[in-house]
Amino acid sequence: MKKLILSILVLFSFVVAHNVAATEQTVEIAGGLNYLQASQNLDGSWGDATTSSDILPTTVEVFRVLGLQEETGLVWQNAKSWLSVQNLTTTEQLASRIIALSAPGGDLDRLLFVVDEIRLVWGGAVGYDVNNLDTALALQALSSVDSLNQTTIGYAINYLLSTQNDDGGWGLDQGLESNIYITAQVVMTFQKYKTVFVIDGPIDNAVQYLQAHRQADGGFGEVASEIPETALSYLALYRADVAGAVLGDIVQYLKGKQAADGSWDQDVFKTALALRALTLSTLPLPAKISGTVMDDDGDGLPIGGVTVELSGQTVDWTATASDGVFLFADLPAGTYSLSFY
């Protein structure tokens, strides 16, 4: 690859994050972690018939928040052992374990096996109708292990784009009523692929849908604020261009709903979701580097198709769009260098 010899003008915009320890704990987080650790089942899982979600997704949520807080002692290890030996077959189950363990193993092959062979999108399992939720979760799993299956990823992204409702949200499938849970999951999925696909507009529309369901108390819900919908909305809006006051109100709502025993509604699943949102609220927003490449011969015309390589804490590359713009998002704090070709 030859380095670009044209005379160019590059305009940069930087947003720099400061290093903050991942283990920073507020009183609310510490109380929630104590509740979760005391609620673990003897086999290493979490949840029972009274929990608002099944045992597997509940265990995955707790496992993820313990990892975020670097609580990787015996409780976490027991949960990892339990997750590793489960016989999983559905898209949601396989995607959840891939994301939780950050290791594809045989699950990646099984996940790609259950994809619809014609449409290259996902349903609940082999032979099931495809839908937005399972497709979004599968894409999150592929992103978590840096899958290079670009053909399948491209078809799945286009499917989700085609099923977005006019209100900006997503239901389970095209034409079905939008809801917060599925919309938040698709937004989190799109944010993982926005440097590869042109999806900023659909993300913005989905963010508007979510914000339209913000309640007066700072929480989110279809009619009244609910803890799961509020926590998921925070996770979806965390990297979006949303006013800090909105995110701050979500944090205050969640803190205000915590019970004296450290839980949210004495429910392990809700507690883990709330803690994941509160954990992110203690971390700096990821950094981004953006810029515009323009001709420096006097007319200042943008140059599209220029390869931009990023090196430093993260190594990546992109190409400038037709308007000369490039973007590297979700970067950890650090020192970076750019090269243009």
> How do residues 260-292 score in pLDDT, each as one tens digit?
999 999 999 999 999 999 999 987 666 678 788
Rounded to two decimals, the pTM is 0.81
- Which positions of the chain have pLDDT values less than 50? 1-8, 10, 15-23
Residue 11's pLDDT is: 53
Q: What angle do CA 279, 193, 187 make, to 5 degrees?
A: 55
* pLDDT tens-digit series, residues 218-253: 999 999 999 999 999 999 999 887 777 899 999 999
Residue 279's pLDDT is: 95
Percent of the chain with pLDDT over 90: 66
